[in-house]
Amino acid sequence: MRNLKILSSIALPLLMGASISTAIAAQNAPKVEVFLSPSKVIEDTAADEWAEISPSDLMVMILEKDAKGRDRRVIIQLLPPPFSQSWVGNMRTLTAARWYDGISVVRVQDNYVTQWGDPNGEEEGQSKKLPDNLNNAGENEYVQKIEDVKINELKLADPYAQNNGFYAGWPMASSGKEIWPTHCYSMVGVGRGLSPDTGTGAELYTVIGHAPRHLDRNIALVGRIISGMEHLSSLPRGTGPLGFYETPEERTKILSVRMGDEVADLSQYEYLSTDSASFAKYAKARQNRHDQFFIRPAGGADICNISVPIRVKK
């Protein structure tokens, strides 16, 4: 049964699908649009459509080895200015102070978040001392005025926003007056208490389920996982309230966090520029799947289902 191997054709090269579309297009040109598969669009990109990610904007987080003794390395890309830079600055400070070294994954709530922080954060007198020079990130930098950020608009139907699109490689939503990053899968945000507290960046989470977009504009997003997401998404779920682990033994220790430019063997990562012609084609292909696998293309897509292609530089 070949079925087992083909639930989705996302990762398959689908040249035949593309050829058929091309043939149809030729017959009816110029009316019919040629729809390539998303993977074929990526394959056809030019080298100069990819933008390098500076290692200084990456955080490399090493978890303790798994039960089978395998390494677990997670790479976080930091959100670019002007978004959330107070918290991003705090994260750089916390990394420089080695504050994150030795903290743990404390919470894994199914279809929601994996969260890490000081496991003794709630014990009076036991919590790890924070550096003195953290920014007071009280201002809502995670929402910006529309005049200050130019997104390439996609205008996808969106129950959480009037408009949406991409800015410098990141998914964004817009109210027409304001722009903010969206809580898609693998995005990283700042844990906090009840509003108007905004957190420091010492406690972080990543989205491991369906995008909790109701958190948009309520929590500071600061980055996203670009490698090793599976080490956070496949952890055992916590059985306490909100998915917190009930015993210290269940936690996964974070051995170290370093900035990318401190890590000698780090690959150079790059993302498909969201201003490139190929990205526009890719976004269209994600909305109109004409791969061999598909019977009915959707004619639209959730902003969180147009994940920005990121790869190790070739």
Residue 275 to residues 81, 263, 287, Cα–Cα distance (Å):
17, 30, 17
Q: Which is nearer to a copy of itself, 172 or 259 (CB)?
A: 172
Nearer to a copy of itself by C-beta: 102 or 297? Answer: 297
Looking at the Cβ atoms of 30 and 241, the one nearer to a copy of itself is 241
Hunting for tokens 């408009």 — which residue is that?
Answer: 163
Nearer to a copy of itself, 54 or 160 (CB): 160
Query: In DSSP terms, which residues pair with 114 in a beta bridge?
Result: 108, 206
- Please name every residue paired with 207 in a beta bridge, in sequence order, or none if there are none: 113
CB of 72 to a copy of itself, least distance (A): 11
CA dist., res. 171 & res. 160, Å (int) = 13
* Burial class of residue 282 (count of CB atoms within 10 Å of its CB; 0-12, 13-18, 19+): buried
How far is the first Cα of the chain from the last one, in angstroms, to the nearest whole number? 36
Q: Report, in Å, the least distance between residue 110 CB and a copy of itself.
A: 5
Residue 165, phi then psi, degrees to nearest 5: 170, -155
CB of 217 to a copy of itself, least distance (A): 5
Least gap, CB of 162 to a copy of itself (angstroms) = 9
Residue among 56 and 133 whose Cβ is closer to a copy of itself: 133
Cβ at position 156, least distance to a copy of itself in Å: 5
